Amino acid sequence: MIAYDFAPATSKSLDELQTEVFVLPFFSDERPLSGAAGLVDWRLCGALSRKVMAGYLEGHFGEKAFVAAPPKLKSEALLLFGLGPSTAFDPVVAEKASAAIAEALADAQVSTAAIALPGRSMDLLPALQAMQLWLATSPGEALEEVTIVERPEEHRALESLVDGLRRQAESPLD
């Protein structure tokens, strides 16, 4: 089973986060970038915003861009994932986005990732529901550790969800 950890969505915690890939979902109409993507963009002095403004990234659903992370971050790469327009976002889109992100991580044979869950940057989905949709995906066998980047007040509920699933999987009654 994948080991889950939780990190607050703050500049300091993102600077200290060591992982192979940092997944940053964003909407096509999310300007400026917000949530974890906005924090990373700020840390990179607007480098992500410049890519968006230049048309290299649009944010249409399923758009993926792997970007080498600069030395300012301890992640090896960033995976920017387009969610489409925020007005079309719902649990079905979130589920498809989670599955596509998991597939991209599996294809890249990533073993450690930090993920900002789809829809959370604009609070379009409750954290618990976003986490349930993520956990319903099959992120591949290579993925060993995942850090969920989320507001600290959401950590307890998310940890309880993961712990409950872990206990259920380890139960001798099955």
Which of 103, 94, 98 has the alpha carbon at shortest distance from 140?
A: 103
DSSP string, 16-64: H---SEEEEEE-TT--S--HHHHHHHHHTTTHHHHHHHTTS----TT-E
The answer to whether 121 and 30 are in contact (CB under 8 A) is yes
Looking at residue 173, its pLDDT comes to: 64
* CB contact at 8 A, 80 and 65: yes
Q: Is this prediction's pTM over 0.85?
A: yes
CB within 8 A of 74, min separation 6: which ones? 15, 16, 17, 18, 19
- What's the pLDDT score for residue 71? 82
**Residue 38 confidence (pLDDT):** 95
Residue among 41, 15, 22, 21 nearest 30 (CA)? 41
Give the pLDDT confidence score for residue 11 in this predicted structure: 86
Instruction: Name the nearest CA neighbour of 19 among 74, 81, 98.
Output: 74
List average pLDDT for each run of 10 residues in the chain, which is 174 residues long. 92 90 96 94 93 93 92 91 98 97 94 96 96 88 93 94 86 65
Model pLDDT, residue 3 = 92
